[in-house]
Amino acid sequence: MKKELKNNYGKIFLTITFEAENNWVYNNWFGSQSQENVRLGANTCLEILMQNHCSYLINDNRLVAGPWSQATDWLLTNWLPRAIAGGLTYFAHITSLEPLARLSAENLRNHLVGNLQMEIFEDVPRAEAWLKAKQQLKNHE
């Protein structure tokens, strides 16, 4: 299942895929992100996570241009509590090489509370390996 979200100009800014074979949701963000687009994308992602009873998220920002720190407060106070309540426990964030985008991700991670674990990566294979390791640990509990 793949969902594409478009901005006001008709350009795709996010694709969200539930990968059943891996039991995770994969978000792939594109271009500059307005606060409105971050909220729409995050809320749509949360719907897909909850519909699939999924605890694992890969959030790929390698193709994001610029910071998204304007949405950090909303993510921390609104989206993350709902995501955690919905069962999200492992969040693999792949950052853009742009320094401001990485700072936005680090700011988010540094303010997390509760049971959600977030790690920041620079490529997909490492993010996937981390999530697979977390799934293996959970399967052996």
Express each pLDDT in 48-95 by its tens digit: 999 999 999 999 999 988 777 778 889 989 999 999 999 999 999 999
Instruction: Report d(CA 95, CA 48) in Å as an integer.
Output: 22
Instruction: Report d(CA 118, CA 54) in Å as an integer.
Output: 15
Which residues 6+ apart lie within 8 Å of 79 measured at CB? 39, 42, 43, 46
Structural domain span for residue 55: 2-139
Does pLDDT of 97 surpass 90? no
- Identify the CATH number of the domain in which residue 45 sits: 3.30.750.24
pTM: 0.91
Please compute the mean of the pLDDT values over residues 103-118 and round it to a whole number: 82
Count of the separate structural domains present in the chain? 1
Q: Determine how many CB atoms are found less than 10 A away from the CB of residue 108.
A: 22
